[in-house]
Amino acid sequence: MSIRIGINPLTWTNDDMPELGADTPLATCLSEGAEAGYEGFELGNKFPRDPAVLGPVLDSHGLALVSGWYSSCLLERSVEEEIEAVQSHLHLLKSLGATVMVFAETTGAVHGMMDTPVANRPVMTDAQWTLFISRLEAVAGYLSEQGVQMAYHHHMGTVIESERDIDRLMSSTGPTVGLLLDTGHLTYAGGDLLKVIGDHGARINHVHCKDIRPQVLQACREERRSFLESVLAGVFTVPGDGCIDYQAVWSSLQAMDYQGWLVVEAEQDPAIATPLKYARMGYEHLAGIVGRIT
């Protein structure tokens, strides 16, 4: 698989705060995404979950299904229970040709809580780590057998958030547990993007490209804001509109022979950040770097 550029519908509508972009129809998201140049979309809350319905909708816009977020609860559910829970999501991805699943452990997560500082996220004990890794590898093995690779998403407000968490996750698991590199979340968490790529590039099988407004991030940290408060404050934006050096990120990914999707994903209030404008901005920045625009 060569490099492809996709987008997440968060630019138009928000899954954690459905009131953001609530009146924007799916057709608008897809038509504007295609107009901006994207080849595919990740799933969002307005997407039909029947592949027989969604497939023709995407085809009508010339778009592929990139992937979709899955919330696991492996600290609370058995392997068998998690495999049962993932079936409909897995079926949708497989049916429409997606080869990776965005996978994140959400037991105790605080990223969807408006009044809980993101700094109060859950931290696993050693015993929980042992349990989690055992179950995670079992589920990852199952997904791999089904032809869909796990792309584990480190995420603010969850048990896997920091560079240290990522290092422990990668060193404790085998290659069936792939790594989703999220440039915005790792920068928010204080991690070193280029070091993580250098250390774990062979495991990176999906990339989310969101940028950071550094002054907003500093204020969010100092004021101990929740993840959702930070989003509303404008901490995230699209590539090329923040402080992340995407040329350096791309060069590091190239050195590790990354093949797959680069997905623009920037949680913003669409009433403030006009979706088509920012979708174009993100696409043009990434496309220029990877050689789609000269």
pTM higher than 0.85: yes
Give 97-146 pLDDT, tens digit per residue: 999 999 999 999 999 999 999 999 999 999 999 999 999 999 999 999 99
List the structure tokens of 290.
């990877």
Dist CA 74 CA 124 (whole Å): 12
Query: Do residues 160 and 124 touch, judged by C-beta distance below 8 A?
Result: no
Taking only the tens place, the pLDDT of each residue in 175-231 is 999 999 999 999 999 999 999 999 999 999 999 999 999 999 999 999 999 999 999
pLDDT level of residue 165 (50, 70, 90 thresholds)? very high
> What residue numbers bound the domain in which 184 lies?
4-290
The pLDDT of residue 291 is: 86
- Tell me the C-alpha distance between 40 and 6, whole Å: 5
Q: Is the pLDDT higher at 292 or at 243?
A: 243
Determine the straight-line distance between the first and last CA of the chain, rounded to whole angstroms: 22
**Residues with Cβ within 8 Å of residue 255, at least 6 apart in sequence:** 201
- Total tally of structural domains belonging to the chain: 1
Tens of pLDDT, residues 61-87: 999 999 999 999 999 999 999 999 999
Q: Report the pLDDT averaged over residues 7-14.
A: 96
Confidence of residue 294 (pLDDT cuts 50, 70, 90): very low
- ∠ CA 127-133-135, rounded to 5°: 105
Q: From the CB of residue 22, how many other CB atoms can be counted at a distance below 10 Å?
A: 12
Within 173-268, residue ranges assigned H as helices are 183-188, 193-200, 214-222, 227-233, 246-255
CATH number, domain with residue 33: 3.20.20.150
Instruction: Give the sign of the dihedral formed by CA 121, CA 88, CA 47, CA 262.
Output: positive
Mean pLDDT taken over the chain: 97
Residues 29-44: what's their mean pLDDT? 98
